[in-house]
Amino acid sequence: MGELIEKDHGYIFEVPARVHVGLARPVPYKAMGRFNHEAVAIDPRTGIVYLTEDREDGLFYRFLPPMPRERGKLVYGGRLQAMKLKGERKADTRNWPDADWMPVRTPLDVEWVDIENVEAPDDDLRKQGADEKNAVVFARGEGIWYERGVIYWACTSGGPNKQGQIVRYHVSDQEGNPEENISLGRLEIFSQPNNSKLLESADNLVVAPWGDIIVCEHTAPENHLVGITPEGILYRLARNALNNSEFAGSTFSPDGSTLFVNIQRPGITLAITGSWTSLPRADS
């Protein structure tokens, strides 16, 4: 028997994307927080990293890397912050019964609060942010995507019937700078259909080249790819007819002609092409 080595879990590790596969040095990026990490999106203009937390009472975080904010420098540390509504006490976006209510399609100004005890040995990072700093609470933040100054992410169990929400954040043009307090970013619930026939358990997502959001469902017994137009119209794009496994990892080819998506079990990748221009529009 080998020697048992115990290590804390819940950190981010960077895995190089390269043609030749090989082992990477396992360096935990502890400054980015220890919690139930789900997904990240990076603003290419600033290098700021946005992180979702897959907990029923999770937060939404950003990580400010050292200046100058150059990609590939996360190993040198930085500052972890959580989102809160400007001037508000603890806010709740989940819109569950008997809880605070956040209106849909109503942008609200946000601030960011520093999180000090980022390694959270008691698995309480989200409680530090919500209870001590009045950070905004989200229902299982999962898939996330950055697109032209806007960040979209899925809250898998958000909404009155816990069927899922799509949230978006309009990045400040002074994001992460001292001038940010006079040009605030804005948060809104972009879509909350509250109807399992339209969307159930939103998970991974991608913004299509024409502006629609393509959402992967994570539910049973059937999983779909669901499209949402910029105007909020929902439509089913595809169904997993193979089994009851979830779709995951959706992304488009650089020319926008092909949608790649995985079926998590047995671990296969699909390439979907078609007449994207025939999809539903606001005036259809």
pLDDT of 82 > 50? The answer is: yes
* φ/ψ (deg, to 5) at 130: -75, -45
151: confidence class by pLDDT, cuts 50, 70, 90:
very high
pLDDT of 72 > 70? The answer is: no
Instruction: Please state, as a whole number, how many other Cβ atoms lie within 10 Å of the Cβ of residue 235.
Output: 15
What percent of the chain has a predicted confidence (pLDDT) above 90? 80
Confidence (pLDDT) at 220: 82
Instruction: Give me the mean pLDDT over the 183-198 stretch.
Output: 95
- DSSP notation for 199-252: --SEEEEEE-TTS-EEEEE--SS--EEEEE-TT--EEEEEE--S-SPPEEEEEE
Question: In this structure, are residues 218 and 224 in contact, taking their beta carbons and an 8 Å threshold?
Answer: no
Residue 59: strand, helix, or coil: coil
What is the rounded average pLDDT for all residues in the chain? 92
HSE-CB of 241 using CA atoms within 13 angstroms: 2
Instruction: Give me the mean pLDDT over the 178-203 stretch.
Output: 95
Q: Which two tokens stand for residue 93?
A: 């976006």
pLDDT of 18 > 80? The answer is: yes
Question: In this structure, are residues 213 and 207 in contact, taking their beta carbons and an 8 Å threshold?
Answer: yes
Question: In this structure, are residues 203 and 256 in contact, taking their beta carbons and an 8 Å threshold?
Answer: no
pLDDT tens figures, 206-247: 999 999 999 999 988 899 999 999 999 999 999 999 999 999
What percent of the chain has a predicted confidence (pLDDT) above 70? 96
